[in-house]
Amino acid sequence: MSEYHSIYTGPEVDDGITKALAAKATLDLTYDGVWDLDYGSDTGAVTGLALAFVPRRIQLTVEIPAGGLHIVANPVYGSFTNDGFSYELSDMPDGAGLYRLHYSLKGESDGGSSSSSS
């Protein structure tokens, strides 16, 4: 099976696929962590990270207790800072046990001055 590889050659390249691949390639910093979710709340914020970069991409998953609710988490657009980010949940964690938010943050080594992205 062959793989598709693309090299960004500069601003003169104008196709969206090449630009998207180039943008993805610049996200060279990663920070992973886990945050305990509050019982009875479907919103929250991960704070106190003191990152050396502003996250450009955030991936979230929710760890549930046995028999717990199946909850999906989404980062809130416009909330990304070097201190953390806000999130919204598809449901409120119930009393079935500990729910935990696992997060993976990606950013640029030049600091990524953008305060938000998808």
Tell me the per-residue pLDDT of 5-14, one tens digit each, with 9 for 90 and over. Answer: 333 344 454 5
Structural domain spans, the chain: 28-107
Q: Read out DSSP for 10-23?
A: -TT---HHHHHHHH
Query: What's the distance, CA 21 to chain centroid?
Result: 18
25 by DSSP, 3-state: which?
A: helix
Length of the chain: 118
Is pLDDT above 70 for 37?
yes
What is the rounded CA–CA span in Å between residue 88 and residue 38?
A: 12
**From 2.60.120, 2.30.30, 1.10.3470, 2.60.40, which CATH number describes the 28-107 domain?**
2.60.40
pTM (2 d.p.):
0.71
Q: How many Cβ atoms sit within 10 Å of the Cβ of residue 85? A: 23
Query: What's the distance, CA 35 to chain centroid?
Result: 13
Tell me the per-residue pLDDT of 39-66, one tens digit each, with 9 for 90 and over. Answer: 999 999 999 999 999 999 999 999 999 9
